[in-house]
Amino acid sequence: MQVARSVCPLDCPDRCSLEVRLEQGRAVAIDGNHSNPLTDGFICAKVRRFTERVYGPDRLRHPMRRRGPKGEGRFERVSWDEAIDDIVSRFGAIRGESGGEAILPFNYGGSNGLLTQGAGDERLFRGIGASRLARTVCAAPSSAAAQALYGGMASVDFPDFEAARYIIIWGANPRHSNIHLMPHLKRARANGCRVALIDPRRTLGPEWIDRHLPVYPGSDAAVALAMIGHLEAIGKIDHDFLAAHTTGAEKLLQRARDWPLERAAARARVEAREIAAIAEEYAAAAPAVVRCGWGLERNRNGESAVAAVLALPAVAGKFGVRGGGYAMSAQSTYGVDRESLATMSEPPTRIINMNRLGRALLEQADPPIRALFVYNANPVSTVPDQNRICRGLAREDLFTVVFDQVMTDTARYADLLLPATTFLEHAELSISYGTYAVQLGEPVIEPVGESRSNEQVFTLLAERLGVKSDHPGGDRLVTRALAAMSGPLAGGNGSGAARDGAVLLQRLRRDGILPFDFPGRRPVQFGTALPRTGDRKAHLWPAALGPEPYRVLDPPHGKKYPLALISPATHKAISSSLAEYGFKEGYVEMHPDDAAARRLEGGQEVRVYNELGEVRVPLRLNAGVRPGVVNLPKGLWNRHTRNGAVATALVPDEISEISGGACFNDARVEVGPIPG
């Protein structure tokens, strides 16, 4: 038995360091190791079973060409040469007839590494003048708000939660999607820290939280503004901090006055006194930290909700101490110069919002999309308006290439299927969006079947399609990526062009990890880490969020479909990745009172439906889901429901105003028995 070191590059803030057990060249077990102190030797159950993806029945082992109707999933094996020739000739013809914009690359967070996304792929699609993709299915509103207020200031690191005396977990479920925060929460609790959870579902039990505010989806902006207004009313605004370190505070306070507790409580369908209690406890405690998740951005109020939540620590004067402030994405602190990885400047081609893929495939003109290249993504399961996407993918005149590790629901619509390596089979340089460390994963097993890495395939296609730019391969690409980071890497000698990537690569190979070199080890917001805005101040009325940064839009009216649908992540899948073995069957969760009002019983098969579609699944009763809300898990595949449709079939393809973010939680549905 051999043991090899690796890194999990999946879409998760924890970025675990891994230990892979090998027998005769096969990976037989995966667990956490201690290279990354945050991992601390344990990982989630999803990735512990990752060998089931690597060797499982869904794994793609060689290139294939479609034989049956689109979507049916019947393919015949072809060689790599045939597959590449086919792409080159189809792309060539399409570019000649309609221009490069008729080709759309489609990718998201199937891998969060720097080598498999945004490097050779970006160079290829820029080089052929393809349409550009607005990658907004997740984190667009949050990033827009954080950037606008604080310019991407470093986040509170998870170990510093132990210093906090009050924690607000807002729109996040660390038990499923950020499990390495949990030990720190536990120690914080042992130190006497109180915790409030703001979320439509009670995702943590009484051993973890003292208060639960079950806000109605889309009402977070109103609640956060009401908390700010209440802080002012009880004299708990830190005026000195606001005067010294912020701009726009008076306008924010004025807007917050529009949301008295009762008004926000009516919008959020909670008790006004509960909002007040959390605001008062938060104001009284020090240090106090807000863990802002991505749940509150999933509606048309996404940007304003995140902005109002992130403004709270400034208004209440919670910065400047270890364990005080907010935690969100850490990624901008790495300062990756992605342009140097793409090696080509962006062409001025049109931008297509990924949340409107179905509409783009069916309605886009001048030119219409004639070729789609999907990689690191499974839009049939994960992008709003599933039925419209499937109708688009079923177009006979659309040439679709899917480059993936397994036969996803999207792959079934491919004209050409290309088998991709997993992170155990290729090199990957990983940064984390939860914490501060760069890690390198090197191949620990041979590619399964004929699978190839993104880097290999995009380099080959670029060559064949005549894209010319200096794109380094192998170690040269890794050193370039390391040199492209301006964040304070430990041992980093300088930054940008001055930084020697080769030295960093040597250290990475030796230690497996490059931590950050913050003064005092971890950042203290408004202590050792300042906003990265031009004036180093927090902009509480930022122009980047439009003339009304805290506009609260009315919720979608739900007369015919009165229930708000949420579709949060679970411990069974990472978006839709790994769901092929994580889930056996989908389900919908509903409060017992809502079920009783519809004469529905737990275990019964039901239809969840609206004007866009229908999903048939068994019903689970759960008093932890607030009344008026139902929960269909994120990431199901079609095989996991009785009618082969998932939550996204019920989600409109509306987008948020500022950043074009997906509005999953604006879906309104009804639930009923199966007719007949």
Over the window 168 to 187, marking each residue x when it contacts ligand SF4 by CB under 6 A and - when it does not, the resulting string is -----------x--------
Applying CB under 6 A, which part among 5-13, 91-99, 332-340, 557-565 lies near ligand SF4?
A: 5-13
Applying CB under 6 A, which part among 10-18, 279-287, 304-312, 338-346 lies near ligand SF4?
A: 10-18
Applying CB under 6 A, which part among 8-16, 234-242, 311-319, 641-649 lies near ligand SF4?
A: 8-16
Applying CB under 6 A, which part among 38-46, 98-106, 108-116, 601-609 lies near ligand SF4?
A: 38-46
Work out whether 632 is an interface residue with ligand SF4 (CB under 6 A): no
Residue environment code for 308-329, b if the CB has 16+ CB neighbours within 10 A, otherwise e: bbbbbbbbbbbbbbbbbbbbbb
SS3 509: helix
CB of 484 to ligand SF4, least distance (A): 23
Q: Is 236 exposed, middle or buried (0-12, 13-18, 19+ CB in 10 A)?
A: middle
CB of 421 to ligand SF4, least distance (A): 17
Structure-block tokens of residue 166 = 């009050």
Any idea which residue has 């403004």 for tokens?
311
Q: Which residues pair with 420 in a beta bridge?
A: 452
CB of 52 to ligand SF4, least distance (A): 14
Residue environment code for 137-157, b if the CB has 16+ CB neighbours within 10 A, otherwise e: bbbbbbbbbbbbbbbbbbbbb
Closest C-alpha among 619, 627, 649 to residue 636: 649
Applying CB under 6 A, which part among 13-21, 260-268, 370-378, 410-418 lies near ligand SF4?
A: 13-21
Nearer to ligand SF4, 252 or 431 (CB): 431
Whole-angstrom Cα distance, residue 457 to residue 123?
Answer: 12
CB of 609 to ligand SF4, least distance (A): 32
Any idea which residue has 């070191």 for tokens?
5
Question: What Å distances lie between residue 328 and 171, 178, 241, 563, 607, CA to CA?
Answer: 11, 11, 21, 29, 36
Closest C-alpha among 424, 351, 368, 395 to residue 655: 351
Among 20, 27, 38, 47, binds ligand SF4 (CB under 6 A): 47
CB of 485 to ligand SF4, least distance (A): 20
Work out whether 5 is an interface residue with ligand SF4 (CB under 6 A): no
Work out whether 431 is an interface residue with ligand SF4 (CB under 6 A): no
Work out whether 513 is an interface residue with ligand SF4 (CB under 6 A): no
Residue environment code for 73-103, b if the CB has 16+ CB neighbours within 10 A, otherwise e: bebeebebeebbebbbebbeebbeebbbbbb
Strands 64-66 and 26-32: unpaired
Size of the site for ligand SF4 (CB under 6 A): 12
Among 5, 6, 10, 319, binds ligand SF4 (CB under 6 A): 10
Q: For residue 506, give every residue at least 6 positions away whose Cβ sits within 8 Å of its Cβ, in sequence order, or none.
A: none
SS3 485: strand
Nearer to ligand SF4, 145 or 179 (CB): 179
Applying CB under 6 A, which part among 42-50, 194-202, 358-366, 615-623 lies near ligand SF4?
A: 42-50
Footprint (CB under 6 A) of ligand SF4, residues 90-119 = none
What string of DSSP letters covers 602-649? TT-EEEEE-SS-EEEEEEEE-TTBPTTEEE--TT--GGGSTTS--GGG
Work out whether 20 is an interface residue with ligand SF4 (CB under 6 A): no
Any idea which residue has 């003339």 for tokens?
547
Nearer to ligand SF4, 8 or 438 (CB): 8
Work out whether 44 is an interface residue with ligand SF4 (CB under 6 A): yes
Among 5, 6, 12, 100, binds ligand SF4 (CB under 6 A): 12
Nearer to ligand SF4, 8 or 188 (CB): 8
Whole-angstrom Cα distance, residue 322 to residue 669?
Answer: 44
Work out whether 46 is an interface residue with ligand SF4 (CB under 6 A): yes
CB of 159 to ligand SF4, least distance (A): 16
Work out whether 43 is an interface residue with ligand SF4 (CB under 6 A): yes
Among 15, 300, 452, 499, binds ligand SF4 (CB under 6 A): 15
Among 5, 6, 16, 292, binds ligand SF4 (CB under 6 A): 16
Applying CB under 6 A, which part among 41-49, 164-172, 414-422, 499-507 lies near ligand SF4?
A: 41-49
Whole-angstrom Cα distance, residue 437 to residue 495?
Answer: 16
Among 5, 6, 8, 105, binds ligand SF4 (CB under 6 A): 8
398 neighbors 477 (Cβ within 8 angstroms)? no
Work out whether 14 is an interface residue with ligand SF4 (CB under 6 A): yes
Closest C-alpha among 616, 606, 673, 619 to residue 642: 616
Work out whether 303 is an interface residue with ligand SF4 (CB under 6 A): no
Phi-psi region of 240 (alpha: psi -120 to 50; beta: other; left: phi over 0): alpha
E strands, 297-427, in order: 325-327, 351-353, 371-375, 399-404, 416-419
Work out whether 291 is an interface residue with ligand SF4 (CB under 6 A): no
Footprint (CB under 6 A) of ligand SF4, residues 448-467 = none
Work out whether 574 is an interface residue with ligand SF4 (CB under 6 A): yes
Site residues, ligand SF4 (CB under 6 A): 8, 10, 12, 14-16, 43-44, 46-47, 179, 574
